[in-house]
Amino acid sequence: MTKFIPDLGDETLQALVEALTESGQAVSLYDAEDRLRYANKTYQGMLLGDYEGPYTFTDILRHAAKHGLGVRIDDHDVEAFIARTLPRRRSVPRKSFETDLVDGRWFWMDHTILPNGWVLSVGADITALKHNEKTLRMAHEEALAAARTDQLTGLPNRRHIFELLDETLASRGVGSSLCTVIIDIDGFKAINDTYGHDAGDAVLEHFARVCRERVRVQDYLGRMGGEEFLLLLPEVRLTDAVPIVERIRKEFPLVRLGSSGLELTYTFSAGLTEALPHDDRVSILHRADRALYAAKADGRNCTKASFEGRTPTTWTKAF
């Protein structure tokens, strides 16, 4: 096979220059001393504007930064940017990277060192792809959040609050502590039967909102299902956990039921336990659940604490 030797006559070169100029890609050619020898229309729009020289790489960067052109520099320190860029500019024969511009566009750059030491850069506009990528990422994050969130209360759902419990148990260090509280709204079935399910939903939303306002920032509150909630209190001992639960209970506000304006009061029972060194999710929830049932058996509207191998103890009771 005969090797093709292109005819680079004046007409061919003119056609090549016109193609590069109108291609939409950003094409530039710097010589071995980093002086700009060729820039097509797109590249000129990116970095040069009405610049009239000198056309060294560093001078062009300074001009662009001063006139709101070119690459976005996070710290706005063009000299520091130049100092970081120059050592990498000819460090490898060829590299590809993405860069974002001050005007919000993104380009994928192919950077090639030619045999004579000149630098050829060809950039493709990938702004639409980056926007699509951002949209997909946001959609993924929203879907993930939805999969972890109880739609009614906005709290972590059963799956997510259990994941948080597992993570908190696994990450405990020596001497650290964790208390878990299972909370059940008293007489919830009667609320639904008397006032309807919309009233029940209002009570659940109300409890979640009031509870969030009264716990610490580092605490986790999630809905286990129905009228049951799980409260995780990291770095809290059992005796210190009781005041936190009672702060939620104290002077609990009335809930207003929709457009009817009816105000309803309700109470809750709580079962509380502190994590032991060998605890996993099953064992710690079992003790908290025992304490909750004991609280309900004792007349509800109270907090009981459960210890390993001991009968749950009433710590507080509201009347």
Annotated catalytic residue within 79, 133, 167, 227: 227
Among this protein's residues, is 227 annotated catalytic? yes
- Per the DSSP assignment, residues forming a β-bridge with 100 are 106
Name residue 98's beta-bridge partners. 108
HSE on the CB side for 273, CA within 13 Å? 30
Relative orientation angle of helices 197-214 and 188-195, to the nearest 10 degrees: 140
Sheet strands side by side (includes 26-30): 36-39, 26-30, 119-125, 106-113, 94-100
State the pairing for strand pair 228-234/106-113. unpaired
By CB atoms closer than 10 A (0-12, 13-18, 19+), residue 53 is exposed
The contacts of residue 19 (CB under 8 Å, 6+ apart) are none
Burial class for 97, CB neighbours closer than 10 Å (0-12, 13-18, 19+): exposed
Catalytic residue set: 227
